[in-house]
C-alpha cells in the first residue's frame, strides 16, 4: 500500500468536478493507494450535524460523526485517476462502524482511508472503503462501507452474505424524513450527491424523487437509540435495503436495550429500508 499524507483535508469542489467528468469504468483492480490526514474537530460543525441528525447534546461525539471528518479523504480516493470506477452511480450497500473507546474529549485526530476487498456481485462488483480514526492513544474508531459498482465484470462466484432480517423486534419510535433533509444533510456532510438533493436532480439518475442519504438514515437511527447502546466496545452494522424517498415517514423497530441487539427501519406498507445489528467488538 502506498500511503500519501495530506497537509489538510481536501477542498471538495474540484473533486465534484472530477466526479462529474468521469463516467466510464477504466479497470477491474483497486489501486494500492491510501490517504492520511490530521483533522481538528470543530464544535460548531458537530452541533450543526447533531441538529440535522437528531442527536442530543453530549460531551461524546455522535457515533457516525467520524464519517463526516473522513468524507473529503474518501472523495479524493474515489476520484483519483488510478481509481477504476466512476464515483457517481456507486451504490452504498452496507456500513459497519466499530467504536473502540468513547468518543469524548476529542479534538485532533489522524484519519486514514483506503479501498480493498474487490469481489464479484450479481450486478457488478463490490469493494469496501475502509476508514480508521486514531487519537494520541491509538485506534479509536473504524468503518467499512461496502460499495457496488454496476457493470464491472470480474471472474468468480458472487457471494451473498447479507444480514438476516431481524424478527424479534418491536416498534421503538417513528419520524418524518422531510423533503429538504437531503439538502440539509449535504450542508453538514459535504455530500452533495444529486440523487439526494431534489426530485429534479434525482430524476437525472433514474430516481422518481430524491432519496435520503443512507448515512443520514443510520445517524438518525443511532440518535433515536441513544441510551440503548453502549458508548464504546461496540460494532454497529447496517445494510441499506429500499431507499427512503423524500418526503416520507419511517418506523424504527428494535430489540431490547443491551450490549447486542437488532434493528429494522421500515416505511409505509412494511417496506424495509435498513436492517442492522449491534454487538461487542469481537
173, 94: one domain: no
CA distances from 186 to 182, 258, 270 (A): 6, 32, 28
CATH code where residue 14 lies? 3.10.129.10
Which of 251, 244, 255, 247 lies closest to 270 in space, CA to CA? 251
- The DSSP bridge partners found for residue 4 are 35
Predicted local distance difference test score (pLDDT) of residue 254: 97
Q: Let me know if 177 is exposed, middle or buried by CB neighbors in 10 A (0-12, 13-18, 19+).
A: buried
**Same domain as 123, residue 39:** yes
Mean pLDDT of the region 104-116: 94
Q: What is the 3-state secondary structure (H, E, C) of 17-61?
A: HHHHHCCCCCCCCCCCEEEEEEEECCHHHHHHHHHHHCCCCCCEC
The two beta strands, 272-279 and 248-254, are unpaired
Query: Quick one: 149 and 276 in the same domain?
Result: no
Please classify residue 140 by burial: count the beta carbons closer than 10 Å to its beta carbon, then call 0-12 exposed, 13-18 middle and 19+ buried: buried
* Segment holding 264, helix H or strand E: strand 261-266
Please choose, from the candidates 109, 112, 159, the residue with its C-alpha nearest in 3D space to the C-alpha of residue 137: 109
Range of the domain at 66: 1-161
Residues 116 and 128 sit within 8 Å (Cβ to Cβ): yes
- Phi and psi at residue 149, to the nearest 5°: -110, 115
- Residue 161 pLDDT greater than 80, yes or no: no
Per residue in 24-68, pLDDT tens? Answer: 999 999 999 999 999 999 999 999 999 999 999 999 999 999 999
For Cα atoms 201, 202, 205, give the angle at the middle one, nearest 5 degrees. Answer: 105
Distances (CA, A) of 219 to 27, 64, 178, 212: 33, 6, 15, 12
Task: Write out pLDDT tens, residues 219-276.
Answer: 999 999 988 899 899 999 999 999 999 999 999 999 988 899 999 999 999 999 999 9
Structural domain count of the chain: 2
Domain match, 273 and 180 both: yes
148 and 86 in one domain? yes
Residues 125 and 151 occupy one common structural domain: yes
Inform me whether the pLDDT recorded for 206 exceeds 90: no
Amino acid at each position: 500500500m502506498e500511503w500519501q499524507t495530506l497537509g489538510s483535508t481536501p477542498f471538495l469542489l474540484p473533486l465534484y468536478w472530477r466526479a462529474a467528468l468521469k463516467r466510464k469504468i477504466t479497470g477491474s483492480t483497486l489501486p494500492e493507494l491510501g490517504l492520511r490526514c490530521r483533522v481538528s474537530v470543530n464544535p460548531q460543525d458537530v452541533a450543526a450535524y447533531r441538529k440535522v441528525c437528531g442527536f442530543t447534546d453530549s460531551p461524546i461525539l455522535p457515533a457516525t460523526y467520524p464519517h463526516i471528518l473522513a468524507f473529503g479523504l474518501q472523495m479524493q480516493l474515489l476520484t483519483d485517476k488510478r481509481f477504476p470506477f466512476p464515483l457517481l452511480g456507486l451504490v452504498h450497500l452496507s456500513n459497519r462502524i466499530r467504536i473502540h473507546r468513547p468518543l469524548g474529549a476529542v479534538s485532533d485526530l489522524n484519519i486514514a482511508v483506503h479501498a480493498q476487498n474487490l469481489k464479484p456481485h450479481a450486478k457488478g462488483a463490490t469493494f469496501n472503503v475502509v476508514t480508521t480514526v486514531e487519537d494520541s492513544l491509538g485506534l479509536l474508531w473504524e468503518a467499512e462501507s461496502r460499495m457496488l459498482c454496476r457493470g464491472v465484470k470480474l471472474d468468480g462466484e458472487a457471494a451473498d452474505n447479507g444480514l438476516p432480517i431481524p424478527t424479534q423486534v418491536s416498534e421503538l419510535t417513528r419520524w418524518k424524513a422531510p423533503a429538504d433533509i437531503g439538502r440539509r444533510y449535504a450542508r453538514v456532510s459535504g455530500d452533495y450527491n444529486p440523487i439526494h438533493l431534489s426530485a429534479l436532480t434525482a430524476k437525472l439518475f433514474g430516481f422518481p424523487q430524491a432519496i435520503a442519504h443512507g448515512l443520514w438514515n443510520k445517524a438518525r437511527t443511532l440518535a433515536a437509540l441513544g441510551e440503548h447502546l453502549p458508548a464504546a466496545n461496540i460494532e454497529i452494522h447496517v445494510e441499506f435495503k429500499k431507499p427512503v424517498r423524500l418526503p416520507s415517514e419511517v418506523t424504527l423497530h428494535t430489540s431490547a436495550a443491551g450490549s447486542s441487539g437488532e434493528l429494522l427501519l421500515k416505511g409505509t406498507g412494511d417496506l424495509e429500508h435498513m436492517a442492522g445489528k449491534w454487538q461487542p467488538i469481537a
